Amino acid sequence: MGSPAARACCTALVLVLLSSASEGRPSFRPRSAGGPPRLEYPVEFPLGQPTFDNIQAICINGDHRPRYPDSYFPVSGYGKLKRMASSVNELEYLLNACCGSNHTWGTEVTLCCASMAWKFAINSYCEEDASIKDRQSECCKPMGSDRLNCFHNEAPNPNYKATQELPVPQIPSTETFDFNPTDCMN
């Protein structure tokens, strides 16, 4: 086994080699600041601008597009995604109300209602987004038609195709949206 002096010499040599080798090794600390990896919570945001080309799909497929109940997200965190989801829920509820009167209004007034609801939802989202200390949505920065075009161009489902196999329940609105069909006559 060797003398104690030889073992001490070998031990010292091994320690020197290990300490110099550890200086070039990568760190094996977790990449995130502790805790589990972040989960994804996809939100189909924003919704596309209502047009003559998609108004029928808006009304027919209304209960086959996603809604995001509070239980969809964890209790804490995900503030921006929660605001996006709330905007989708809000607009889908308003679109459903516009489509519900389609049989008496006709397509033109239903489209007018849907367009006004869409503009209302976009502007409400941007107003709330600006009030939070977070990075503001790029599409909220422009004003007027530039803002609306930006949101429409970002829409993942501008044609309002059905994306859910089974019908999903409406989530009631918390916003007040007043629509008068005579507003469309201008």
CA 150 to chain CA mean position, Å: 15
pLDDT band at 27 (very low <50, low <70, confident <90, very high): very low
Alpha-carbon Rg of the chain, whole angstroms? 28
- DSSP code for 22: H
122-171 pLDDT, tens digit per residue, is 999 999 999 988 888 999 999 999 999 999 999 999 999 999 999 999 99
pTM, rounded to two decimals: 0.77
Q: Give the CA diameter of the chain.
A: 104
pLDDT at 17: 32
Q: What distance in Å separates the CA atoms of residue 145 and residue 158, rounded to the nearest whole number? A: 17
Q: What distance in Å separates the CA atoms of residue 8 and residue 150, rounded to the nearest whole number? A: 72
81-119 pLDDT, tens digit per residue, is 999 999 999 999 999 999 987 677 889 999 999 999 999
CB 54 within 8 A of CB 95: no
CB 91 within 8 A of CB 47: yes
Residues above pLDDT 70, as percent of the chain: 77
Tell me how long the chain is.
186
Please, what is the end-to-end C-alpha distance for the chain in angstroms? 102
pLDDT at 28: 33
In which residue are the tokens 């007040």 written? 176
Closest CA to 171 of 61, 71, 51, 98: 71
Q: How far is CA 141 from CA 122, 125, 147, in A?
A: 12, 12, 7
Going from N- to C-terminal start, the domains of the chain cover: 54-184
Q: What distance in Å separates the CA atoms of residue 106 and residue 182, rounded to the nearest whole number? A: 13
Closest CA to 168 of 53, 67, 41, 56: 67
46-74 pLDDT, tens digit per residue, is 999 999 999 999 999 999 999 999 999 99
